Amino acid sequence: MKKSLMTLALTATMGTVLAQSPAHASAPTAVRTAASAKVSVDAQVVNPYAGTSKWRLMSTASDVDGDGTIDGISIRRKSANVCSVRVTMGTRVAGTKDLYTSWGNPCVYHGDAPIDPVKGSEISILTGVGAHTAWHSIVTWRNGRLVLERSPIRPQWTVDSTVMVQEGVRRTRNANGEIRLVHTGVTRGNGNRWGGQAETYAYRNGKWVISARKQVVLSDAAASRVGGWHVRYLPRFNR
């Protein structure tokens, strides 16, 4: 469904369709943030995926509510610590959602993709950055409105990639075909070995919960594949 919707949108819109990017091979680049209210909300206008003080259309190639028709996704940087997401269905504004963060406010559209088992695409917004860590807020459509889809351990989802730390989220399926998310975080130890933990998340009763946890030891090569998002249609790292 996703692929056909994107094809339809490319011929039906004025070139504002988001091109789904392939996974980047390197760690995320630095994103300018706003640490105080004195910073202009238009400071990131150079980034076509960053919100500004006015609504900015990011995608018209997505089916957010799962009804088989394309929807529009827009964002705006409402204030120094609030990023707003808006979804339009046809000519109607269907819903908006304010995302709050204390980790700066890059307010960058990361992408959208089916993440949980419910029909429709989830929307990923970069709402926080550290020296190298990225925090994403996931927004989804439930019961006629936009809501925050939290990770099992915090409101946001984190990914990372450095010479010492790798952290990522991978969408997969178990032996029964049920969708699972695997969150893995590892750090470099002695030599070329990395150690850490992998948690498996299952979607139950409208939220993600931890269904399994195990310790992992990885080689350099295996660890290099951990960082970032590994979900079809989402870029691996920030735009």
Domains of the chain, residue spans: 1-18+34-109
pTM here is 0.81
Q: What is the mean pLDDT of the chain?
A: 86
Residue range 93-148, pLDDT digits in tens: 999 999 998 777 899 999 999 999 999 999 999 999 999 999 999 999 999 999 99
CA 217 to chain centre: 26
- DSSP structure class, residue 34: -
Residue range 40-80, pLDDT digits in tens: 455 555 799 999 999 999 999 999 999 999 999 999 999 99
Residue range 182-207, pLDDT digits in tens: 999 999 998 889 999 999 999 999 99
Q: What are the b/e assignments for 94-124, b being 16+ CB within 10 Å?
A: bbbbebebebbbbbbbbbbbbbbebebbbbb
Apex 144 CA angle, 41 and 237, nearest 5: 45
Average pLDDT of 12-25?
35
Measured between alpha carbons, how far is 93 from 88 in angstroms, rounded to an integer? 4
pLDDT of residue 42: 54
